[in-house]
Amino acid sequence: MTSENYEDKLAAIRKKIDEIDSQIVELLAQRRDKIRELAKVKSSLKLKIRDQKRETQVIANSEKRAVEMGLDPSFVNKIFLEIIDYGRRTEGEVRGEVKKIAYLSPRGTFTEEAALKYAAGTEAELIPMSTIASIISAVENKHVDIGIVPIENSVEGSVTITLDLLARSEAKICGEIILPVVHNLISKEKISLDKITKVYSHPQALAQCRTFLAKKLPHAHLYETLSTAEAVKIVAEEEDTNIAAIGSLAAAKLYGMTVLAEGIQDEQTNETRFAVIASEDTEPTGQDKTSIAIFLLQDRPGALCEVLEQFKERNINLTRIESRPSKRVLGDYIFFVDLEGHRKDPKVKEAIMNISKSAGEVKIMGSFPSAKKKNTPSL
């Protein structure tokens, strides 16, 4: 057979594959239309969107059929999980019951894990976004209902970009999620640590694992990425097998990677606090916190002390206080304060009002239910 004949055969096979791909898309569209019909019927019957028993049955049937057709059932499983997820979102859109939740991309980040924790038990569409600024902007412009952004880590401190943006945003903090952070060394395949030449991860993850890296991988070059999940993705896509990433078990599973070492963070009580943001904060629950930003009008002795006295006089406990440059002039600062109580509590309301009158401008970033801390890290 000549090369010309092979090229003709190749073109014919590809044409047939294109026709099959088109049929797959048409079938997906038909399935979507049936889901829309289903949504109206289930709404009339007052049934919940998610039917776990039905979903399990669909997955089992698809895997059984995959085996009969000589396909890898785990491959088909992944496809149908996505199809079912799309079906839930479609049904939610028809019924108007789905919240759009933005989180820091890509998939496999700790922020996604926080978003999944927030969305547990509800109908939600998780929307990955590339930056914290884009998440906050999406909330402000009502493109999404909820945004999940990292705000503080127990080891590395505050996420300053989040504080700076929220101090000038109309979005409000309406909740918080505290997530244990467990870092893992991840690679394509099982290799000895002395063969690893490069390690990729987010700057905070690299910093939180500095002791492990210094002892176990002193020869490896460290490379910063936008997220831990991106680091795992980079390693997964590179041909070099002597490189590794620091990331979550979820990211390792997502990209089909091998975990070389678990729990490599220096502090085993490492936790990250995520802010849940929306267009409005929440009503009092009795177990609340309030975040405020204070812009002192005058740089003079005792100005900050006067602010703190307002809280002391009313027995209001402060859970966090720190300063950030105001970005206006050198030496001008914003003070970020977290306090126990709701902005509508009489003593909190009075303290904020007095500070506004005497010391400076106060921006209420939001009042929200206080999250319960976990003592044992696990992912």
DSSP per position, 199-210: EEE-HHHHHHTH
| Cβ contacts of 354 within 8 Å, gap of 6 or more | 310
- Mean pLDDT score, 201-220: 94
Q: Say what the pLDDT of residue 329 is.
A: 72
Asked whether the predicted pLDDT for residue 324 surpasses 70, the reply is yes
Q: Say what the pLDDT of residue 377 is.
A: 35
- Mean pLDDT score, 221-250: 93
Using alpha carbons, select from 78, 87, 81 the residue that is nearest to residue 34.
87
Q: Which residue has the higher pLDDT, 106 or 147?
A: 147
Phi, psi values for residue 201, rounded to 5°? -175, 175
Percent of the chain beyond pLDDT 70?
96
* Sole residue written with tokens 């759009």: 100
Domains and CATH numbers, the chain: 3-95 (1.20.59.10), 99-180 (3.40.190.10), 184-261 (3.40.190.10), 284-368 (3.30.70.260)
Asked whether the predicted pLDDT for residue 71 surpasses 70, the reply is yes
Average pLDDT for the chain = 89
Q: Which residue has the higher pLDDT, 50 or 24?
A: 24
Asked whether the predicted pLDDT for residue 223 surpasses 60, the reply is yes
- Give the separation between CA 202 and CA 246, rounded to whole angstroms: 8
Whether 274 is catalytic is yes
One of 110, 274, 335, 336 is an active-site residue; which one? 274
What is the Cβ-side half-sphere exposure of residue 255, based on CA atoms within 13 angstroms? 29
Q: Say what the pLDDT of residue 258 is.
A: 95
Asked whether the predicted pLDDT for residue 296 surpasses 70, the reply is yes
- Cβ distance 365 to 171 under 8 Å? no
Asked whether the predicted pLDDT for residue 376 surpasses 50, the reply is no
- Give the separation between CA 288 and CA 296, rounded to whole angstroms: 25
Whole-Å CA distances, 176 to 1, 63, 68, 266, 275: 67, 39, 47, 24, 5
Give the pTM.
0.72
Sheet-wide strand order for 333-340 = 318-325, 333-340, 288-296, 360-369
* Sole residue written with tokens 């966090």: 320
| Cβ contacts of 362 within 8 Å, gap of 6 or more | 292, 293, 294, 295, 352, 355, 356
Using alpha carbons, select from 201, 211, 212, 191 the residue that is nearest to residue 260.
191
Confidence class for position 163, pLDDT limits 50, 70, 90:
very high
Q: Say what the pLDDT of residue 379 is.
A: 30
- Mean pLDDT score, 192-209: 93
The two structure tokens encoding residue 200: 């990729």
The two structure tokens encoding residue 80: 């149908």
One of 111, 228, 272, 290 is an active-site residue; which one? 272
Q: Say what the pLDDT of residue 69 is.
A: 93
Confidence class for position 299, pLDDT limits 50, 70, 90:
low
Q: Say what the pLDDT of residue 359 is.
A: 72
What is the Cβ-side half-sphere exposure of residue 350, based on CA atoms within 13 angstroms? 11
Confidence class for position 352, pLDDT limits 50, 70, 90:
very high
Q: At what angle do helices 52-68 and 73-95 cross, to 10 degrees?
A: 150
- Mean pLDDT score, 216-244: 93
The two structure tokens encoding residue 142: 């009502």
Q: Say what the pLDDT of residue 48 is.
A: 83
Whether 272 is catalytic is yes
Sign of the CA dihedral running 282, 283, 286, 290 = positive
Q: Say what the pLDDT of residue 286 is.
A: 92
| Cβ contacts of 174 within 8 Å, gap of 6 or more | 146, 276, 277, 278, 280, 281, 282, 366, 368
Confidence class for position 157, pLDDT limits 50, 70, 90:
confident
Q: Say what the pLDDT of residue 92 is.
A: 81
pLDDT tens string 119-149? 887 778 889 998 999 999 999 998 999 999 9
Confidence class for position 373, pLDDT limits 50, 70, 90:
low
DSSP per position, 211-255: HHHHHH-TTSEEEE-S-HHHHHHHHHH-S-SSEEEEE-HHHHHHT
